[in-house]
């Protein structure tokens, strides 16, 4: 039941939510979204947090409703997966493969393939590339997600929704470091360092 509620809520977001940034078209139906954040730690430390999505991914954008069920094996063919614990509606645990790692260079680049959220049910290919680059005493994290293929909903609906969700996740990752505002509050000072790539 929770899985159906998640799918319905995310599908509604494809129609209802505005874009946070310009969505660049790819082909006739695809799109690319890009976001950046600067975090106050070295690239190796940023990598260590990046590959532990259970520490920063929003439970609202999981099938189980709990980010603790997320895991990521940061090596080629590794799974960004989610466990679906046994609940009232089933007697056996389930699982979700959100993405597969195709390139992992610790402290520098993580690249995965996979259609996230409601895109999983569409005949699309999608690639996410996360790059980490030292900047002063911190690290600039750049996230790019490219989606291509046939969609049953317009790019003008799906692109802004994906942009909003991924922008939120990168903001949460950045806010999870000690120098972020107390309590993970995404205040204006923090948000000034997070946004769409130019």
pLDDT interval class at 175 (50, 70, 90): very high
- How many degrees, rounded to 5, is the angle at CA 164 between CA 156 and CA 104? 110
Which whole-number Å values give the CA distances from 67 to 114, 131, 141, in the listed order? Answer: 18, 23, 21
Q: Does residue 167 register a pLDDT over 70?
A: yes
Alpha carbon 102 to chain centroid distance? 16
Q: Domain count for the chain, please give it.
A: 1
Domain hosting residue 36, numbered range: 2-196
Q: In angstroms, rounded to a whole number, what is the distance separating the alpha carbons of residues 76 and 59? A: 26
Contact in structure between 67 and 59 (CB atoms under 8 Å): yes
Phi, psi of 50 (to 5 degrees): -55, -40
- Prediction pTM value: 0.79
What does the pLDDT look like over 117-127, one tens digit per residue? 989 999 999 99
Q: Does residue 191 register a pLDDT over 70?
A: no
Q: Does residue 190 register a pLDDT over 70?
A: no
CA atoms within 13 A on the CB side of 177: 22
Contact in structure between 148 and 40 (CB atoms under 8 Å): no
Q: In angstroms, rounded to a whole number, what is the distance separating the alpha carbons of residues 103 and 113? A: 10
What does the pLDDT look like over 1-37, one tens digit per residue? 444 343 434 444 433 333 335 678 887 789 999 999 9
For residue 135, the tally of other CB atoms under 10 A from its CB is: 12
pLDDT interval class at 111 (50, 70, 90): very high
pLDDT of residue 39: 96
What does the pLDDT look like over 62-108, one tens digit per residue? 999 999 999 999 999 999 999 998 877 778 899 999 999 999 999 99
Contact in structure between 33 and 148 (CB atoms under 8 Å): no
Q: Does residue 55 register a pLDDT over 80?
A: yes
Phi, psi of 139 (to 5 degrees): -140, 135
Contact in structure between 189 and 181 (CB atoms under 8 Å): yes
Residue (of 50, 7, 30, 3) closest to 156 by Cα position: 30
Q: What is the domain-level CATH number for residue 146?
A: 3.30.530.20
Contact in structure between 109 and 132 (CB atoms under 8 Å): yes
Q: In angstroms, rounded to a whole number, what is the distance separating the alpha carbons of residues 76 and 136? A: 30
């Amino acid at each position: 039941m929770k899985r159906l509620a998640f799918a319905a809520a995310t599908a509604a977001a494809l129609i209802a939510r505005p874009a946070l940034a310009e969505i660049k078209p790819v082909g006739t139906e695809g799109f690319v979204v890009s976001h950046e954040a600067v975090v106050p730690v070295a690239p190796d430390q940023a990598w260590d947090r990046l590959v532990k999505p259970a520490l920063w991914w929003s439970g609202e954008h999981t099938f189980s409703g709990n980010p603790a069920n997320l895991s990521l094996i940061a090596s080629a063919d590794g799974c960004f997966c989610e466990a679906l614990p046994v609940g009232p509606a089933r007697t056996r645990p389930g699982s979700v493969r959100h993405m597969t790692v195709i390139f992992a260079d610790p402290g520098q680049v993580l690249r995965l393939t996979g259609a996230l959220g409601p895109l999983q049910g569409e005949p699309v290919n999608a690639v996410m590339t996360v790059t980490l680059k030292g900047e002063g005493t911190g690290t600039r994290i750049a996230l790019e997600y490219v989606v291509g293929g046939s969609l049953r909903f317009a790019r003008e609906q799906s692109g802004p929704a994906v942009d909003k969700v991924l922008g939120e996740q990168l903001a949460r990752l950045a806010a999870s470091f000690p120098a972020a505002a107390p309590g993970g509050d995404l205040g204006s000072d923090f948000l000034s360092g997070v946004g769409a790539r130019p």
